[in-house]
Structure 1
Amino acid sequence: TWKLYRDRRGNAPPIAQVEEELKAGLHRRTFRDQAGRATTHVYEVEVEGTGNDELRQNNTGKFLVGVDGLKPLLHVSTLEKSGLAALLSAGKVSIHSVKPEQVPTDLEGLSKYSGILLENVPADALGLARLQAIAAWVRDLGTGLMMTGGRESFGTGGYIRSPIEPILPLSMELRPEHRKLAVSIAVALDRSGSMMAPVAGGKRKMDLANVGTAKVVELLSEHDEVGVFAVDTSAHVVAELSRLRDKASLKDRILRIQSQGGGIFVYEALVACHRMLQKATNGTRHIILFADADDAEHPDKWEQVVRQCRAESITVSVIGLGTEKSKDAQLLKDIATAGGGRCFFTDNAEELPRLFSQEAFAVARSTFVEAKPPVRIEARPGLSRILGQAMKVDRHLGGYNLCTLRQPEANLGVEARDEYKTPIVANWQVGLGRVVCYTGVADDPRYTGDMPQWKDVGEFFSSLARWTMGELSPLPDGMVLTQEVKNGVSSIRLHLDPNRQRESFAGQPRVNIVRQSPGREPVTTTARMRWSGADELLLEVPRDEV
């Protein structure tokens, strides 16, 4: 029995089924299906036999079929009803709206879309696998990313040190003049026995927690203070609280911390950090507690310590290695809530450096600016290169994310006319893809200013979205690309117009080959096509390389 499935989900029935007697050897069968809207369909062929099949693993095959046309833009938002989505739909932009947890984690799922729009979505809500897939999909496969601002976006949303950061036309690293107050941070690191567990790359959990703490040091300025404890049954001073005059020496000490066994005594960690920060001279004082969410022992009178911290304007955040269902997760959440801070959980130790960076960034760098009174924004000459038309922008915003332009590559479209001159709209080509950022807030009356009253607001955002989605065909006239899979080899052919007046290439074109195993980060390699005829170039890729 042959069965053909399209976009198979759960127990969905096949779209075609044929029963016949087969003999050993090669067989070809033709199935017909009708294409709908522009998308990518996943077809799966399954063969069921009646005999004793000792190798059932080779009874299925899967292949992708792209339907020509402009695919929809994947719109991601935590809002139940997005005003931005309504604007885009009214502007005839084809979108598909989902929650962060519904975003595909692989290139196969993302291939159904022309690009992705992240509307004030925190990095944690997407997770590392999705961030890695999106970055590779945009940069190496030539799609688009549009990102809008808010308190859950850009630096304050945890995108610094994430896979998305390098593909953005804006830097979230702030200049010294952006800093309003120096900070003092005490870090308490769990060095209990569970931190000896190995992770990928020949490292241990302790190593990645150390790297995360070193990232905190990197993010801060010489005016800030940092102190570090390694905690098991007691708190051991790794570095006394001091200004960051010699970052290299401090990072070296941090990176040498070793797991010593036992469990982390939470109360001891909090008491030690509290005492250390009582000596701090800076206005902002903060504790970062890192603990195993399954082995946070002896909390004792933690409420009393945290209450004293809050009375002295000291805040507390927690990074827990585990999940929200871990044995001690509720304790860690309670500590962060009582401490006026944040609580993060991850069961992937490789995420620790990013989470430490995110927390330090949130404390030390207030990168979301509430503009009171609203700040004026104006179009710059580069806006017409994004929108494809001249558009006068002279509006006001009540809030935006503080970033700087990556010069000279990035293009500035709209700028805030305040002391920071922050880019409000910026774009660039990154790899084969394209990225545009709007650092204002698209849908929150506290911060949108008078943008909703602007008669051209719909066309403004729709034009940004259309630029993100790109053109219907990325190939110039006189070229056709085909692909055929046969005997385990994918043959990619570029057909050229036999009547062309000149050669289309100075050399042989390169092709990005992006491979992704289930649950793994995409890996990109490049290969050059070769001439296989007077009007044809060819690249053959074995199936195990795709």
Structure 2
Amino acid sequence: MEFNYPEAFWLLLLIIPLYYFTRNSIADLPRGRFIISFSIRIIIFILIIAAISEIQIVKPNTKLCVIFVTDLSKSITGRNKEDIKSFISKALEKKNKDDEAGLIIFGGNAFIEFIPSSKPKVTDFTSIVETNHTNIAGALQLALAMFPGDANRRIVLLSDGQENMGDALAEASIVASNQVPVDVVPLDSLPEREIFINQFDLPEMVNIDEPFDAKVVLESTFSGSVKLQFYRNNKLAGEKVLSINPGKNVFFIPQEVQSSGFYGYEVQLITDRTGDTIVENNRAWAYTKALGKPSVIIINGDKKDVFLTKALEFEGLNVFNTTPDNMPVSLPQFQNYQCIVLNNVSATQMSSEQMKFIQIYVRDLGGGLIMIGGENSFGVGGYYETPVEEALPVSMDIRKDRKMPSMALVLAIDKSGSMADFGPARMEKIALAREAAIACVHLLAPNDQIGVIGFDDAAKWITPFQKRADNKEAIARDIATLRAGGGTDAYPALKIAESVLSRTEAILKHIILLSDGRTAPGDFDGIVETMNSHKITLSCVGIGQDADILFLQSISKKGGGRFYHTFDVRMLPRIFTKEALIASRSAILEKSFTPDVNKYGQILQGIDWEMVPPLGGYVITTPKDRAEVLLITKEEDPLLVQWHYGLGKSLAFTSDAKNRWATKWIKWKDFPAFWAQALRWTMKDTETSLLDVSASFENGEGKIVVDAVNEEGDFMNLLDLHAKIISPSMKNSELALKQEGPGRYETTFPCPELGTYLINAGGENTGYEMLSFDFSMAPEYKTFGANRFLLARIAQETGGRNLELKNYNMVFDHSIKQSFQVKELWPMLIMWVLFLFPLDIAIRRIFLPEDWMEKVLKRFKLPERIVKVHPDIMLSKLKSKKSEVIKDREEKVSIASIQTDFKVRPLIIKEEKPAKEIKPPVKEETGSSLSRLKSVKKKALDDFNK
């Protein structure tokens, strides 16, 4: 037993004054109660002093608990993993019966494989860790928290020691302070033949037509030659054969660019597999920005549409003209341009990733976006509920608040077994078909009619045909029940759809047929002819390479509709909404009109709008709440709409810029000026920022450093700066930058993904600066072999040992400083104090009658044998009590007889009566006494009960 603060027992001297204080305060208590109360107070006082001294029971531990901490990062080879399992298994065979073992595996994070147990078993590693990093510190921290309190403790670390996250030595100091030794077992992970790209650097900014060097550092374990390929913006820009030696090899490759913009470079090593062990470290990326005239990219739905390009070039803008097939395929590539123009481009001509890139480019990177109308743009282009629509100032949902011709729509969806297959992004085809159908329903007006048929070997209604599409949520719930399974027979579905639509009075009647395979034979020509006679149109959508394209093309052509074929099932919602709007004949208005100015803005300045020529049509859209409508049509539909979206701007022009609706506009003298002003308003701000932004990878996470200096060279302090970070998977986050010094602001961010991180840092008063941070190669692939120096430092810091794989028999030896199990007693002492304190109060304050126990027992009607009294004893007590009462009465009478009344009273003479003869009391018989005793007991019991 030990005391942390034994000096607290000096307080026992206070017992003497406590006695005098107690004697005075409870002096009126009976002696017995006084002694009990004072004793309890002394006990309470001693217990409190013992609790203050922190009394403990210290018991030496006899068993040993070992926690194995195992590195499973990417630098650990398959052979290393087998060595680890063998080492642990052999070590467990040598442990004592009562000893315990636990296992932690780690990489960038750490997980418990099994908790300490006296019967552990190692078969295989089941936990999945992040393998791109090595965080020894985190693993040691978890191990320290795993130990039980009744065992001697030891950690065995099996790792190559190539730490790239956390601070292992700092954590080792904490482990040492807890008196836990760490034995280290180095794992040599050096491949026999390996070459990798250790470093790839480009200047942050370059000038057009001026050579610059790309620095490439290769590290190799052998001599030889390798081929190095250079890619610029995903296109091969050259290759070179290099001679290499063991160790680091530095090369400078001259490069040059001819236009301004943002350039992404990739270098790739081409090696013989027999001469290289790991191929994941043979690629690296870097980025640079070429200064020059700002440029815009125009993506034309039809490559023949060059009217806008010529007009902008006439105004001196640097224009890059392309088609959807050749548009940028990564977010950094979009950074080459200050504005993106989508000129009559259908959403089905872009991938889901490209649409997401455009949204992020505008919202988070401050870029500009213009969408120009046409027969393949806005709603009829399939942009409903897409990322691009979110970035635009107009909505494609037009049928809710407008008077449109009523439409009856039936969706016939293939739900055969093949529709359960997975497409891109690991999504079932049937799931995306459901999503597409629900999107169609949301586009319908309340007076439209809708029905959904699912077919496999047979056809049945998923959503029964409804005369009104006003309860969209209920319809969507029905569609959500669509499941795949069975064969493919489209004929029954078309037959049911034709039967229903032929009886409806809707002005427009349309069927959309979706299939991914070959249907069973049927009289399709006959059913299509019947549809034509009832003015029912049919469009078809084929998915994948197994779809019967010729058949679907044929019946859609005969049915007066359109045919769509896609390999990307993610296109289905766009195709369905595009087709629904086209079929409704409500999204395009083709008639001549002269635009009216609704609100003047920068784009409209300097143009005589009284002399503007007419346009021949436009796509109907709905302006969003915060949008500014500059030009409107005669029907007051929006023609030119602008708004700010995030850090960027976007603009919508709902007519076209070619020789269909804008035939007279392309000949108009202000046509070039109008579009040049529209682009200049929308373009990304190209003014020089007052910020110098850099990013690096440190200690397992990205670090952003911003230096803010004004034009006079003075530090800019107390700024409100933020950094928007876009990860390789397009997840974006925003972090505040904290000032760390004069004009310097910093923040850190996690890098859980491999790839390119885009960073846009700045503030309202300083502008924004964008840069790319490449984290395409895991740090695990840049270092090989065991860092024995770090591992030895950890062992030295904690008092552990440097072991090898052959020293498994030393793991469970008890040559370790004995630890002790400490049990704190003060909580128990405090509980006793809390119990005794009210007991002391009860002894001093509560007084019970002498017969309280008898009354309690009778109250609860306990058996009579518990309170039974012998009759002779009871009779003796009653006689004694009676004698006392008689004696007391006689004394009172004698006292009263000698009292004199000194008041004057009339004298009254009464006739005296002879005194009665006082006879001695008659001795009653025993039987009558027992009767009286019983009556007294009965009366007392009745009184007690009352």
2:722 equivalent among 490, 495, 510: 510
Aligned to 2:468: 243
- The offset of 1:405, in angstroms, is 1.5
The answer to whether structure 1 residue 309 and structure 2 residue 531 are counterparts is yes
1:10–1:379 Cα change, 3 Å: closer
Q: How does 1:311-460 map to 2 (within 5 A)?
A: 311-322=533-544, 325-364=545-584, 366-371=586-591, 374-384=592-602, 386=603, 389-394=605-610, 395=612, 396-407=614-625, 409-416=626-633, 418-419=634-635, 421-444=636-659, 446-448=660-662, 450-460=664-674
Letter in 2 for 1:482: V
Alpha-carbon contact 1:70-1:114 (below 8 Å) kept: no
Does 2:731 align with 1:523?
yes
For 1:422-459, what per-residue CA distance to the aligned partner results, in whole angstroms no more than 9, with x for missing partners?
Answer: 22111111112211111111112x31153234321111
Distance in 1 of aligned mates of 2:709 and 2:402:
55
Deviation at 1:539, TM superposition (A): 3.6
**Cα gap change, 1:262/1:68 in structure 2, threshold over 3 Å: closer, same or farther?**
same
Equivalence for 2:740: 532
Q: Give CA deviations for 1:18-55 in whole Å, capped at 9, x if unaligned.
A: 6453426xx66555544542122233345578994322
**Distance in structure 1 (CA, Å) of the matches to 2:361 and 2:742:** 32
Change in CA separation of 1:367 and 1:485 when aligned onto 2, cut-off 3 Å: same
Separation in 2, partners of 1:133, 1:200: 17
Q: Secondary structure of 1:360's partner? A: helix
Matched, 1:74 2:297: yes
The range that moved more, 342-351 or 188-197, is 342-351
Q: Give the distance between the partners of 1:131 and 1:220, measured in 2 at CA.
A: 24
Compute the RMSD of aligned alpha carbons: 2.8
Q: Is the 8 A contact 1:241 1:280 kept in 2?
A: no
Q: Give the strand-richer structure, 1 or 2.
A: 1
For 2:599, give the aligned amino acid. P
SS in 2 for 1:264: coil
Contact 2:230 2:236 in 1 (8 A): no
Greater mean deviation of Cα atoms: 129-138 or 481-490: 481-490
CA distance in 2 between counterparts of 1:60 and 1:501 reads: 41
Residue 327 and residue 62 in structure 1: after superposition, are their counterparts in 2 closer, same or farther (change >3 A)?
same
Write out aligned runs for 1:191-230 (5 A): 191-198=415-422, 204-230=428-454
Offset of 1:530 from its aligned partner? 2.2
Cα separation, 2, equivalents of 1:356 and 1:230: 16
1:122-165 per-residue CA deviation (whole Å, 9 max, x = no partner) reads 11122323222222222222111111111111111111122211
1:274-299 deviation line (CA, Å, top 9, x unaligned):
1110111111101111111xx23124
Output the CA distance in 2 between the equivalents of 1:46 and 1:363.
50
How far apart, in 2, do the equivalents of 1:112 and 1:4 lie? 22
Gaps of 5+ in 1: none
Counterpart in the other structure of 1:105: 329
* Equivalent position SS for 2:539: strand
Q: Which runs of 5+ in 2 are unaligned?
A: 1-224, 758-946
Contact 2:447 2:467 (8 Å CA) reproduced: no
What's the offset of the Cα at 1:65? Answer: 0.9
Contact 2:717–2:742 (Cα < 8 Å) also in 1: no
Q: Comparing 133-142 with 466-475, which one deviates more in the overlay?
A: 466-475
The answer (yes or no) to whether the contact 2:368–2:650 under 8 Å persists in 1 is yes
Q: What amino acid maps onto 1:532 in structure 2?
A: E
Partners of 2:559 and 2:466 in 1: how far apart? 20
- Number of the residue aligned with 2:480: 255
Q: Decide whether aligned partners of structure 1 residues 339 and 481 sit closer, same or farther in structure 2, where only a CA change above 3 A counts.
A: farther
Cα displacement (A) at 1:336 = 1.3
In the superposition, relative to structure 1, how do residues 301 and 414 fare at CA in structure 2: closer, same or farther (>3 Å)?
Answer: same
1:337/1:28 CA distance change after superposition, 3 Å:
same
TM-score by length of 2: 0.52
Residue aligned with 1:297, SS? coil
> Do 1:41 and 1:65's aligned partners in 2 also have CA atoms closer than 8 Å?
yes
Closer/same/farther in 2, CA of residues 284 and 533 from structure 1, 3 Å limit: same
Q: Which moved more, 1:329-338 or 1:358-367?
A: 358-367
| Structure 1 pair 218–427 and aligned structure 2 pair: CA distance change class (3 A) | same
**In structure 2, distance between residues paired with 1:200 and 1:343:** 22
Q: Deviations over 1:488-513 (max 9, x none)?
A: 86654322226688967653x22111
* Higher deviation after alignment, 344-353 or 269-278: 344-353
Counterpart contact for 2:229–2:238, Cα < 8 Å: no
1:359 partner amino acid? E
Letter in 2 for 1:215: A
Take 1:6 and 1:185, find their aligned partners in 2: how far apart are those partners? 49
For the structure 1 residues 510 and 480, does the alpha-carbon distance in structure 2 shift closer, same or farther, using more than 3 Å as the test? closer
Query: Counterpart amino acid of 1:310?
Result: N
Give TM-score, length-normalised by structure 1. Answer: 0.87
Answer 1 or 2: which has greater helix percent: 2
Give the Cα–Cα distance (whole angstroms) in 1 for the partners of residues 231 and 515 of structure 2: 45
Specify the SS of the correspondent of 2:473.
Answer: helix
CA distance in 2, matches of 1:90, 1:288: 45
Structure 2: how far apart are the matches of 1:340 and 1:329?
16
CA distance in 2 between counterparts of 1:365 and 1:173 reads 14
Q: Per-residue CA shift, 1:243-280, capped at 9, x if unaligned?
A: 22433322222211222x32221222211111110111
Residue of structure 1 in register with 2:368 after alignment? 144
Question: How far apart are the structure 2 equivalents of 1:5 and 1:197?
Answer: 38
Q: Report the CA distance between 1:115 and its aligned residue.
A: 2.0
SS of corresponding position for 2:317: coil
Within the candidate set 694, 707, 711, 1:483 is matched to 694
Q: Which amino acid aligns with 2:365?
A: L
Tell me if the contact between 1:382 and 1:411 (Cα under 8 Å) persists in the aligned partners.
no
For 1:47 and 1:503, how far apart are their aligned partners in 2?
44
Contact 1:70–1:472 under 8 Å retained in 2 = no
Q: Return the alpha-carbon distance in structure 1 between the equivalents of residues 691 and 472 of structure 2.
A: 55
**Identity of matched residues, %:** 25
**One-letter amino acid of the counterpart of residue 515, structure 1:** S
Would you say the 8 A contact 2:589–2:617 is kept in 1? yes
Letter in 1 for 2:725: I
Does the CA contact (< 8 Å) of 1:383 and 1:414 recur in 2? no
Q: In the aligned structure 1, how far is the partner of 2:396 from the partner of 2:528? A: 31
Distance 1:49 1:286 in 2: 58
SS at match of 1:54: coil
Superposed CA deviations along residues 341-393 of structure 1, whole A, max 9, x for unmatched, are 1222233333323322222222235211111xx21212343422x46x44332
Q: Is the 8 A contact 2:415 2:455 kept in 1?
A: yes
Aligned-partner Cα distance in 2 for 1:541–1:19:
38
Report what 1:267 is aligned to: 491
In the alignment, is the contact (CA less than 8 A) between 1:318 and 1:343 conserved in 2? yes
Aligned residue type for 1:244: A
CA shift at 1:173, angstroms?
1.5
User: Residue 371 of structure 2 contacts residue 652 of structure 2 at CA under 8 Å; is this kept in 1?
Assistant: yes
Query: Which secondary structure does the structure 1 equivalent of 2:673 belong to?
Result: helix
